[in-house]
Amino acid sequence: MTFEPYTAPHWAALALTILLVAGMCLWRRRLRGVRYVRLGLAISAAAVETAMLAERAVTRDWDVYALPFELCSLMIWLTAAMVLTGSRRLFEVTFFLGILGAIQALATPDLTAPFPTFGFAHFFIGHILIVVSNLYMAIVEGYRPKLSSALRAFGWLQVLAIPAAIADWKAGTNFMFLARKPPSASLLDLLGPWPWYLLQLEVVALALCLLLLGIVKLADRLFSRQAPASKQTEPT
């Protein structure tokens, strides 16, 4: 039995992500005063990846894929460090690369482990934590990406791809899908064959970073317009 996309467990994971983000939007002011939320997010993110490494050690499934060369594997560690330290430099990387990578993974999972296995839980909890943690810093803590942040994040994507490409070349792996497209359906299927889709991905990645920045700017404008009306209805 293997994982099948867009069955009940997959929809449940997507629904959980949407509910968590919606909850942050609705109760952002209350959450701002809650202590230890960031610590909890950081510990949860680190625990998910540590549990994966422990599971590999127990089952002796210790191969090159245990290395953190996948984009989201890197992002979950960097996200944990970002929410723990409050680093704005890390935020500008994890916000763009983390959210975009995790959303793509959640929408088109490259996964074989079915529900309710450990592999299923690790995959979805880890990617949900990336999205929720970064949006928490934006929605609740008020962190904001800038155009320069988007461009720096795109630059860091090139840097992070270097060790992944070397591992793919030396070990025959497929970190960050640099060597070939995933066997399961994904957005990469809309692009050309290897290696041309790598060049197309560069354009797509930059465009998505700018699109995400635009969504943040649009949301800020909408909320700023609603702010006066909302203040009038608040009890004194």
Average pLDDT, the chain: 89
The pLDDT score that the predictor gives to residue 226 is: 62
Q: Under a CB-based contact definition with an 8 Å cutoff, are residues 203 and 191 in contact? A: no
Report the alpha-carbon distance of residue 219 to residue 25 in Å, rounded: 11
Predicted TM-score of the model (pTM) = 0.89
154-197: pLDDT as tens digits: 999 999 999 999 988 988 888 989 989 888 778 888 888 888 98
Sequence-distant (6+) residues with CB within 8 A of 136 are: 24, 31, 37, 38, 41, 83
Over range 72-82, report the average pLDDT: 94
Q: In this model, does residue 217 exceed pLDDT 60?
A: yes
The DSSP code sequence of 16-51 is HHHHHHHHHHHTHHHHHT-TTHHHHHHHHHHHHHHH
Report the alpha-carbon distance of residue 79 to residue 73 in Å, rounded: 10
Q: What stretches of the chain show up as alpha helix (H) in DSSP?
A: 8-26, 28-32, 37-59, 71-85, 88-93, 99-107, 118-139, 147-171, 196-233
Over range 85-101, report the average pLDDT: 94
In this structure, the number of other CB atoms found within 10 A of the CB of residue 161 comes to 19
- Exposed/middle/buried for residue 176 (C-beta within 10 Å: 0-12, 13-18, 19+): buried
Q: Shortest CA distance to 21 belongs to which of 107, 123, 136?
A: 136
Question: Using omega within 30 degrees of 0 as the cis cutoff, is the peptide bond preceding 163 cis?
Answer: no
The pLDDT score that the predictor gives to residue 6 is: 94
Over range 56-76, report the average pLDDT: 83
- Which one-letter amino acid corresponds to residue 67? L
- Exposed/middle/buried for residue 127 (C-beta within 10 Å: 0-12, 13-18, 19+): buried
Q: Under a CB-based contact definition with an 8 Å cutoff, are residues 97 and 176 in contact? A: no
- Which one-letter amino acid corresponds to residue 89? R
